[in-house]
Amino acid sequence: MALTAWFQHFFKKNGIVLSIYLMSAVLLWMVIMIILPQVFMLDFSFRFNLPPGKIGGEEDVYTISNYRFLLFGSPGNPDPYNVIDTTVFFRTILAAIFVTVFDLLLCYPIAYALAIVAKGGTARLMVLSLIVPFWINEILRAFAFRILFGSSGVINTVGMTLGLWDTPFDFIKADIALYAGLGYAYILLMIFPIYNAMESLDRNQLEAARDLGAQWWRIHWRIVIPFSKPGIASGCTMVFMLSAGALAAPQILGGPSSLWFTQIIYQWFNTGGNWPRGSAYAIVLLAVCILFVLFMMRVFKVRIGEIGR
Amino acid sequence: MKSAQFLRVVLGAYIVLFFAYLFGPLILMSITAFNSSEFPRVTPWDCFSTDWFNVLVEDKRIMTGLRNSIIIGFGVVCLSVPIGLAAAMMLTQVGRRMKSFFYTVVVSPILVPGVVLGISTLIFWDRLGTMFDASYNSVFYNGIFLSILGQSTFVSAYCMLVFTARLQRFDPVQEEAALDLGATNAQAFVKILLPFLKPAIGSAAVMAFLASFENYNTTIFTIVSESTLTTVLASKVRFGINPSISALAVIIVVLTLICAIIHEAMKRQEARRAQAAKDERVVADYASVGRFATSPWGIVLLVFLAGLGTIWLATRYDTASCKMRLQDERQLRLEQSTPSTPAVTPGAATPGTTTPSTTTPTTTPSGSEPAAKPYQGIFAPQNLDQVAPKDEGEAAPAGEGKSDGESKPYQGIFAPQNLDNVAPKSD
């Protein structure tokens, strides 16, 4: 009942033409582009990998074999569980957490400088120079790190000339290049939410704390950080989700022995030719990431509503 | 007081370091585009060269990818800007309960990994295609169409956020007045709301295009058998790299800088105008040259002139003769080092004697360096230096290198820099 009343009101307010535009655009987006594809992917992940001719036939039934494969591997697997895939999965999650913490530590001072310390022209120049590097293609950014960290790269040359180490250090094999590149890729997503939250901080609070003799770290710990917590939470959420789901940087900067979970998904779709299994893996990645974020929000007592600010 | 000053200095130093991290890699990458070396590197510097730009322009795959990227970019703009606008307007009209559900659904594509978006789009249309028994040439399997849809899924959310921010400052009284005066809803929308949103439409469109242009994670799945600039670049970077990619980076960096400068200059001009209008007096007509130089078009002109200057310098600089000189030097060193350094002889001297003409020894080995990554360290000059004074047992790997000099892992042995560094030792 309420719904029809709402529709009547909606059509009356916007007129026929505008209503149709609004409705169809939003429905197209929500239903055809967001919800249905996700539902189809979920459905597909519970199916066998069949040739096109057999899809919809008798053999096209639901199964959990794809999820079972992620946990236990193929039936002939001697190990109690699928060692390779599960290891890669947990390493990806751990690495994403590491990248998130790294980015938080890296970006917090900058966000603070931008929101509290810098003024007018300086702040605007800083914002512009923060944004500019991110207009450059993701692949090219990763490529830049590869040049930087390669065994004949600049860091090795400089380090060896200064005598810090004498054989070229393989940064790519040690995953240092990967972490540096991933951290770099999501700097903006960390800085701006924190900056937005921090900017509305009342400077008088800082003055008062200073007058009362608080040390600088205490001011941060008791005032600035609690106040900007929603920003920190949404920054961390975005960086974590996106670095766990990153594909370009691990493909280009990852060492020969370290796979990212998205690369396994990509393999199932590309060379592996098993789409249902790839979708099952993608669903697991998505679900675990979301659950982890919700769990961390519970731990740090941040509500979801605060994040959208 | 002193500690406050000290903290400021520390923060300032940190900011400098931070921006070095931000720009350092990009600057270094740009420099490698002008090094004639086959492998993108800054040191050792071979010759100044602009050849890589020619290599880039002649690369058919990159050009096809670029064309597709531009088509997809425009498609995404045309789809996601209207969707974002509609969603932002819808958000102002739905009830509280509905609003939070709606918001969660439409913002989720920003948080969902791009890989998942790409996969779900691909599967959805693939299954629809199977349902309708469509042929593989149909729209359901068309990479460009799928990429436009897949990318628009999250780009629309960006657009929506831009429009929501702008709509918050909209005064609905204007629209009500227009409706009271007899305008239809459509008229009020076109004449009042759209002009108000014009700046937001502009920035949403630019952002949508950029986001689409640089996207990889979603596109790699939805593009199917086609290619975009990003996917071509990725496959190039993964399977052997050469500085023509750096050359592309230089072009993109320069374009980005020009856009940023224009943007900043236009903002300043706007602010100045607003200030002038506020003061209601004519701003003193200060030196018109300086004014032109800080206006957007002046800056573009300056950048353009600087570019022309660079090109002119580049044409005057003779890269070929430099390369020749470099090659001669190398051969000279090679000949000098051949008789006197026993530790180097087994591996390194062989190519010098078998191919005395040394037509391309400077290029071939280093070009295949990426493939040789894992083992490259083995034959780095420092290793040889360390090995040389020790006994024969330690030097064994060098002997192995001779026996199967064809195999990839040991190709680094022929890298010219090795010779360069070893040569002085022999004297």
Structural domain of A82: 76-307
Q: What are chain B's domains? A: 55-241 (1.10.3720.10), 258-316 (no CATH), 320-426 (no CATH)
Q: Does the CA dihedral B341-B342-B346-B352 come out positive or negative?
A: positive
A41 located within any domain: no
Q: Is the pLDDT of residue B138 over 60?
A: yes
The confidence band for B315, taking pLDDT boundaries of 50, 70 and 90, is low
Q: Is the pLDDT of residue B339 over 70?
A: no
Give the per-residue pLDDT at B426.
38
Minimal C-alpha gap between A75 and chain B (Å)? 27
Hey, are the CB atoms on B256 and A135 less than 8 Å from each other? Answer: yes
* Closest chain A residue by Cα to residue B258: A132
User: How many angstroms separate the CA atoms of A274 and B53, rounded?
Assistant: 40
Higher pLDDT, B419 or B303: B303
User: How many angstroms separate the CA atoms of B378 and B387, rounded?
Assistant: 11
A105 located within any domain: yes
Q: Is the pLDDT of residue B217 over 60?
A: yes
How confident is the model over A264-286, as a mean pLDDT?
Answer: 84
Q: Is any Cβ of chain B less than 8 angstroms from the Cβ of A199?
A: no
How confident is the model over B215-221, as a mean pLDDT?
Answer: 87
Cβ-based contacts of A263 with chain B (< 8 Å): none
Q: Residues A61-70: pLDDT tens digits?
A: 777 777 777 7
Out of A201-205, A217-221, A300-304, B234-238, least confident range? A300-304
Out of A174-188, B53-67, B280-294, least confident range? B280-294
Rounded (10°) CA dihedral B121, B127, B128, B130: 140
Hey, are the CB atoms on A148 and B127 less than 8 Å from each other? Answer: no
The CA-atom distances, in angstroms, between B129 and each of A37, A52, B69, B139, B218 are 13, 11, 24, 9, 20
* Closest chain A residue by Cα to residue B254: A136
Residue found under tokens 């030719």: A273
Closest by CA to B300, choosing from B252, B264, B249, is B264
The confidence band for B391, taking pLDDT boundaries of 50, 70 and 90, is very low
A189 located within any domain: yes
A63 located within any domain: no
Q: Is any Cβ of chain B less than 8 angstroms from the Cβ of A184?
A: yes
Give the per-residue pLDDT at B177.
84
A4 located within any domain: no
* Residue to test with chain B: of A20, A93, A139, A156, most B Cβ within 10 A: A139
Average pLDDT, chain B: 72
Give the per-residue pLDDT at A305.
56
* Closest chain A residue by Cα to residue B383: A167
Q: Is the pLDDT of residue B77 over 90?
A: yes
Question: pTM score, two decimals?
Answer: 0.75
A270 located within any domain: yes
For residue A81, the domain's CATH number is 1.10.3720.10
Give the per-residue pLDDT at A7.
79
* Residue to test with chain A: of B122, B123, B176, most A Cβ within 10 A: B123
Tally of domains in chain A: 1
Higher pLDDT, B43 or B121: B121
Q: Is any Cβ of chain B less than 8 angstroms from the Cβ of A197?
A: no
A57 located within any domain: no
Give the per-residue pLDDT at A101.
92
A48 located within any domain: no
How confident is the model over B365-390, as a mean pLDDT?
Answer: 41
User: How many angstroms separate the CA atoms of B95 and B85, rounded?
Assistant: 18
